[in-house]
Structure formats: structure tokens, C-alpha cells
Structure 1
């Protein structure tokens, strides 16, 4: 308890430090030839200190010439400097300025009493200006405990020096301290608000980066998974189909090459957003259901039997986001069928009404055992695509050993999502 009471006074008198000055507007800085940049606030403080010095010296000289007791002029110059110097220091070192004022106050009081007479209060006009200004600077730039300690020390000093003027001195010091503390609270609140806004903008930027990374990851997964699956199956099947026939082997290898070039083109398109900071990206249109025949042809080339069910009415123009998501969902579903159900019969059903596009990709059991289970990232990516559009996607096994993917992709509002 004793330490908690003494600590603020130790900080105020010996150990504490003031906060650095807040950054100032460029309007408060002036560039002068041969001088450089001049801080107008500091210049105003120095000018006020010079004015106080002249005023205090003039008042002391008048008192000294008419008073009962005469003091040496060097002491009067020192007293005037003691009154004005803290004002010049308070912008850079407010706590040091207050400490300097407290150290020199006994001299100021003694000289004022000596030359002004014992009946007058020992408070010169310059002192009445200097001390509230220094107290204000301490309250603005120092911890609340230091401000309270400064106020208490000021109150006790005024009570000891001249009890008759205690009420007026207390009001002046209290107003200066409260005003400075209010300014400090407002500045701190403004600084915290700016920090929160900066953190919020940073979090939004990081979230946007993560969303973009997830989007690119989905695109890469779909492109690589589909094309690499087709290429791998083709590379295995071509020698068997060719059966030593060079023409068939050459045709099969040409088809693999075509698939490889198509995969490279799509990868370049996806990775174009990462090409450089100047935004020189690939602007080729993203695939949509207008390229459904290509997917079906590639899947059939790997041994799948693929049937397509389209509505009697044309699908019409779909928003780019819906078309791309539908293409990728069908692509990933066919890729899964190639890997896990080779030689299976697959049905791709597409339907559309005024509100949504509906997809059903169903495959039966494979003619031969499929590959090992994957990590499930393909299903996760399909669900993310549907969720981004406000739609739904369901995937799971069906009776008889097959698998079905059903997606509903809303059309309304999809332009904004794109």
C-alpha cells in the first residue's frame, strides 16, 4: 500500500518519462531558406519564453528600483530565466520542464518576496503563465499517476508558500491538469481507433488473400486432377489399344499430347493472376458448360461410357461464375469416376429453371478395381464452389456400388459473386 502511494511521486520527481510528442501536420512545419524545416509549435514556445523572460525581467527591475530591499541584477536575470526557461522546454521534455520549474521555484519565491515586499503574493505574472502551461504539458504527455502526483505537489507547494492564495492557485493548476488529461484521453482514443482500423484493414486484406488462394487451389486441383487422370489412363491404355500398330500408337500419343497442351493452357490461365505485379494476366474466358462435349470426349477416351441428358430447351446464357462452377463440378465428378470406377457407365444430367442450374453426375460400379482413396479435396472444392454461389452440393455412394454428385447452383445474384 505504501509503495503504491509513493510510486507516483517517485515517477514525477525522478524516474518517470513523458511520451514522445505526437506527429504534427505538415501545416505546422515551415521550410525557410538557410534554416531548413522549422517546427512552428516549438518556435511559438521559444517566442513565448522570450516574451515571458522580458516581462519577468521588467517586472523584477521595477520592483527592485522601488522596493525596500535591492537585489543584484545577475540574480534578477537568473530569476527571469527561471520563469521563462520551462516554457521553452515543455514541448520536447514536459516532465523535465516541470522538474526544472520546481527546482527553481524557491529562488523565484525568495527574490519575489525580497524585491516585492512581504505583503504581496510571491507570484509574478510570468510565473502565473508558466506553471499552468507546464502542468498542462505534463498532463498531456505523461501517465495519469504522474499527473496526479504533480497536482498534489503543486497544491502542497502553494499551501506552504502562501496559504492566502491557495484557492486561486489550486483552481488554475486543476484546470490546466484536467484540460491536459482530457486532451490525452482523446488522443489515445483516436490512436486506438486508428490502430483498430488498420488491424481491420489488414485482416480484410489477409482474408481476401486467403480467399484468393483457396480459389486458385480449387482451380489448380480441378485442372490437374482431371487432365492428369485422363493422361495417366490414356498413357496406360494406348499401348494396349495399339497392339503394336504404329499408326494407332502415334494417334494415341498425339491425343495424349493434345490433352497435355490443353492442361498447360488451363494452368497458365489459372496462374495468370500470379504472373506479375503489373496485372499482366491471361484474359482468356473461363470454361463453362459450352465445353461440356470436351469433358465427355476426354472421359470416353479413358474407357468410361458417358451419357448426357440436357433439357429440351436451350440452357441459355449462364453467369460466368455459374458456368465455371458447373464445368468444374462435372469435371471433378468425371475425374473421380476415372480414378475410382474405371470403365463405369456415367450419366451427366443438366437441368435449368428460372432460379437455379441443377447437375446430377451418377456413375455405376467400375469394370476394374479403382485407385486408392484420395484426400477428399475434390469434394471439398466442389462444395466450396456451390457454397460461394449460395447453392448446395451433395455427394455420396448409391445402391449398387456407384456414386452420385448432385448440385444446385442459384442463378439469381450470381453476377455479383463472379
Structure 2
């Protein structure tokens, strides 16, 4: 059975109206029944006070100044409203009893006490109690059914809803309030609508600003955590580079010494004892330097090792260690190498240390030429080794040590060249000398 054209026309006309009604029904339902406010925001210290010791028997230890202010204002509105109603009732010779006056005064003030913790409950209570109080006291209120207490209470309750509830709930509260004003007193509807609209817009603006400030604070905390994580990774990378340089150098020397000492001793107990003593000294030096590198991590007992990191001042010691491992090192220093920034001196030392370690591991018995020169605002480090007298059985120089060199040079904004040269291998680094290095 097909519908008539008239029914189809009415259905098309009614469809937009039905959609509009559904859209309006949702915020109204949320406002009257199902909606819920946001969680209570933590109070700042300025809005809370500790309970004095003289009142220590109270069940709470802090005083919420906002809630205390609401309770005080509720009491003021109740007292002022009751006095006004009693005066008006006496002037109108109304037979209304004292209990009725008190009920009306409570209806016009009590919801304010609920607005801080339960703003929607406060508004729903106000929306129900104001008409009841108006019915009780309408006979002597004159032309307007609203008292000053009613206006102040309802404005503050609507503001609390706009600040603490989502936008669609606030829209539902506005719609219901405007409809209620129209049904209660059409003559004052324009004034009441303007007052409620201004309150809702102001409260919504405050809510938007608070949400934006909260999101900004969250982003700042995320940024701080990200920066802290990046700093941790950088510190781990720095410690890893330092450990690699320390362990690689000293272990290389110890391994070569452990191989060479029995051959050099040839059954001589005294020479064997001296060789083992030297290996022990190298091991202790390696452990000491590792403790220095890891000292920053020892925070369990509050003690942090603040011993200075090695620099070019210990270059002779480094060269002597390499010579004791069986390689011939020639050292050439050009320019004034004193007073260098700590980072530049440490990086030059570590690059030299890693280059000597590579020579000991990959070209045992080789000749190493070490040249460190200062030219103006640059420090040049050049380490070149020959092929060596015997094969180490290990692959070439490329490894984590060279990666660490590149990272050190990159941090300082310098340049690094590494690679074979003839039958040997060369490392050349140029480190800028800056005050902030």
C-alpha cells in the first residue's frame, strides 16, 4: 500500500523537525538526568588551610576555602532571603506561616552549598526548588517571582556547571533554564535569558582556558621527560664511549703483555715475576679509570667520584704504556698544549688512546708516529702506524672505537679522517678550540 502524496509531503516536512528535536533532546537529557561533571580539580595551596591544633578533634585536617565561602554565602543568602520574605509577608498581611517562609528561603539558597562538589546536582536542585519556593511565596512577592537571593544563587550554580561540565551539558542547562524562565514569568524572560547566557559564556570561556592551560602543562611535562630521556641516552653514550676507550686500550696492552712475558722470561722466574707485576699494575690502572668513568652513576650512598678525566697532560704515560706493549712510538708536540678546554683535551687523549689500541691489536710490533699540534684555534691530532712485524689474525681497524671517535669529533664540531695509508693506517682529527667546549 503506497502512501498518498500528502503523507509523503508531511513526512518530508516533519523530518527536519524530528532531527532538530532529537538534537535538542540529547543535551536536555544529559543536563536533567544522565550528565556528570568533570572530576574535582586539586586545590592550590592558596585555597586550602590547615586546621589549627586547637581544632585537632575535627574529622578533617584541611579547610577548603572555596567550599567554606560557598557555605558562608549560602548562610548569608538564607538569612537575607528569610528576612526579606518575612518583611514582605508582614507588609502584605499574608497568612503564610514561619515554616513556609523558611522553606522558600532554603529553596532560594540551599543549592549553592552543593555547587562546588556536585554542580549538576546543585543546578537540578535549584531548577526544582525555585518553582516550589516561588509557588509558596508568590502571593506576596509582587510582579516578579525572583528575589535577589534567587538570582545570585542560580547565577553561581549555572556558572559552576559551565566551568565543570562538557559543552553539550552546558547547552542543555541553558535551554532548560530559558524554557523555565519563560514558563515561570514571560515578562522577565528577556532579562533572565540575557543573565543566564552571559553566565554560561563566561563559565565556558573559563573552562576552555583551564583546559588549554592543562594541555599546555601536559605538553611541558612530556617535553621535560623527553629532554630527560635524551639526556640519559646521551650520558649513556658518553659513558659507553669512555668505557670502550678505557677497556679496549688497557685490555689490548694486558693481552699483548700476557703473550709476550712468557716468551721474554724464557724460564727466568725474576723476569716472569716482573712481567706479571707490570700486568697487575696495568689491570689496576684500568680498574681505577673505569671507576672514574662510572663514578657519576654511584649515587646510592650519595658519593660521586669527581676525579678529573684524563687529558693531554697524561700523554707521556699513555705513550709509555704503548711502548711497554712492544710497539715503537715517536711523539711530536707542536705549539702550546696547556690551557686547552677540558672537552678538547679529553677528546684528543681518547682519540690517541684508541689509535694506539688499534695499532697494538691489529698491527703488533708496528711503528707509530704520533703528532699533536695546535694551530691557532684548532688542535690537530695525527696518528699513523706501519703494517707491523706480525699479523694479529683480526680484521681491520673499523669498529666501535672509530665510531666513538667520530661521535667525539662531531660533538665538538671538528673533522675526522681515518683509513689505510700505504701498508699502514692513519687517523687524523681536527678539533676546534672554543671556550664552551
How high is the TM-score relative to the length of structure 2? Answer: 0.87
Say which of 370, 373, 383 aligns to 1:348. 370
Query: In structure 1, how many angstroms separate the alpha carbons of the residues matched to 2:321 and 2:72?
Result: 85
**1:59 is the counterpart of 2:81:** no
Query: In structure 1, how many angstroms separate the alpha carbons of the residues matched to 2:331 and 2:306?
Result: 30
Query: In structure 2, how many angstroms separate the alpha carbons of the residues matched to 1:112 and 1:128?
Result: 15
1:258 is aligned to 281
1:361 is aligned to 383
Native 8 Å contact 2:336 2:374 kept in 1: no
1:310 counterpart SS class? strand
Alpha-carbon distance, 1:115 to partner: 3.9
**1:80 is the counterpart of 2:91:** no
**1:21 is the counterpart of 2:40:** yes
Native 8 Å contact 1:159 1:166 kept in 2: yes
**1:11 is the counterpart of 2:30:** yes
Alpha-carbon distance, 1:4 to partner: 5.1
2:139 is aligned to 114
1:370 counterpart SS class? coil
- Runs of at least 5 residues in structure 1 that lack an aligned partner in the other structure: none
1:164 is aligned to 187
2:329 counterpart SS class? strand
**1:226 is the counterpart of 2:245:** no
2:225 counterpart SS class? helix
Alpha-carbon distance, 1:71 to partner: 3.7
1:135 is aligned to 158
Query: In structure 2, how many angstroms separate the alpha carbons of the residues matched to 1:260 and 1:6?
Result: 82
Mean CA deviation greater in 127-136 or 292-301: 292-301
Native 8 Å contact 2:257 2:275 kept in 1: yes
Query: In structure 2, how many angstroms separate the alpha carbons of the residues matched to 1:308 and 1:354?
Result: 21
Mean CA deviation greater in 21-30 or 96-105: 21-30
Alpha-carbon distance, 1:40 to partner: 2.2
Alpha-carbon distance, 1:277 to partner: 5.1
**1:94 is the counterpart of 2:119:** yes
Deviations along 1:132-184, one digit per CA (max 9) or x if unpaired, are 11111111111122111111111111112211111100111112112211222
How high is the TM-score relative to the length of structure 1? Answer: 0.91
Query: In structure 2, how many angstroms separate the alpha carbons of the residues matched to 1:190 and 1:285?
Result: 45
- Describe the shift of the 1:406–1:242 C-alpha distance in structure 2 as closer, same or farther (beyond 3 A): same
Mean CA deviation greater in 79-88 or 1-10: 1-10
Deviations along 1:247-281, one digit per CA (max 9) or x if unpaired, are 22112111111111111111121122122256533
- Describe the shift of the 1:360–1:4 C-alpha distance in structure 2 as closer, same or farther (beyond 3 A): farther
RMSD (Å) for aligned C-alpha atoms: 2.2
Mean CA deviation greater in 129-138 or 16-25: 16-25
Say which of 326, 344, 347 aligns to 1:322. 344
- Describe the shift of the 1:326–1:155 C-alpha distance in structure 2 as closer, same or farther (beyond 3 A): same
1:384 counterpart SS class? helix
1:37 is aligned to 62
Alpha-carbon distance, 1:67 to partner: 4.3
- Describe the shift of the 1:54–1:323 C-alpha distance in structure 2 as closer, same or farther (beyond 3 A): same
- Describe the shift of the 1:372–1:16 C-alpha distance in structure 2 as closer, same or farther (beyond 3 A): farther
Aligned length: 411
Mapping for residues 206-217 of structure 1, pairs under 5 Å? 206-217=229-240
Say which of 276, 291, 297 aligns to 2:320. 297
Native 8 Å contact 2:80 2:149 kept in 1: yes
- Runs of at least 5 residues in structure 2 that lack an aligned partner in the other structure: 1-18
Query: In structure 2, how many angstroms separate the alpha carbons of the residues matched to 1:110 and 1:314?
Result: 99
Native 8 Å contact 2:419 2:426 kept in 1: yes
Alpha-carbon distance, 1:66 to partner: 4.6
